[in-house]
Amino acid sequence: MFKKILHNDFCFSGVGTHSGLLANVVVKPAPIGVGVSFIRTDLDNSVISASYENVVNTTASTVIANDSGAIVKTIEHLMSALTAFGIFDAYVYIDSDEMPILDGSSVEFVKMIQKAGVIDSDVVQECCYIKEDVEVVDNNGRSLKLSPSLEFYVDINLKSGPVDQSAKLKISRRNYLSKISKARTFGFFKDREKLQSLGLIKGVSFDNSLILNDDGDPMNDGGFRFKNEPAYHKILDLIGDFGLIGMPIVCKVTGNPSHTLNNNILKKFLTFEKKYAIVKNNVDTSVRVKFPNPPVAARVQYL
């Protein structure tokens, strides 16, 4: 397997879900090894590397910053789409501090990436395999756990007010395109005033978010796009947040993911070398990874 790169540029504009401000974005191919770099064109092209180490806020979205204080908010949906296509090197030029929310999912990013085209480089892709269990717990008692697996598999729960959903699936081309990418960000109508008082959700509308009533039912025309849409959006976010290590992760994910737990578990397992292995996975070739049990063959798939 070789590293993927964009074939052409693509661009888009829209409002940020929290700031409510218009942002114009151009995504361009980047040389292998550069990583995904967000470039604030309104701040003298200040560069912010899309790394888990640069995450400075995980309240309601993933926010990255550089040493000079330049930030970009709500990067997780674009990162999810790029990660799903195996793209870990790109330049993202943006003239505001928050990524456009578009329709609240990553499906529009998927369409733009497909139109721009994805091609193979001549550099072998490295993958991160979890070798031992690692778990984190937040202040509310919610947990997230990574375990050794032959594939990227999720078995998650979502408990938020009246919403109690679960989702179990392999992260594959079919599942990402048909469900995960289409799952919209969501929130409760009753929370709007509180969140707006905190400077959040200024750009939220029925066009870019799934709005739920007190019973957890959708208020949007047409309702849910599919059963358990909120749980699938948590998977969408998880993929984007995990993409911040700059390579695919192969593991089983269980628990109740959030931006905070997603970032915390990356920081935790990457501090213990025995917890993971970085392996070069050649094209059409199985790789062997030393799990606690006898070595087994494993594969990573891209869209």
Q: Just list the catalytic residues.
A: 259
How far is the C-alpha of 57 from the C-alpha of 47, rounded, in Å?
Answer: 18
Structure tokens at 74: 């709500």
Displacement of CA 48 from its chain's centroid (Å): 17
Structure tokens at 9: 């540029």
Q: b vs e for 19-30, b when ≥16 Cβ sit within 10 Å of the residue's Cβ?
A: bbeebebbbbbb
Displacement of CA 68 from its chain's centroid (Å): 25
Query: Of 230, 233, 248, which Cα lies nearest the Cα of 84?
Result: 248
According to DSSP, the β-strands at 252-255 and 153-160 are: parallel
Residue 235 host element (H or E): helix 229-242
| DSSP assignment letter at 198 | T
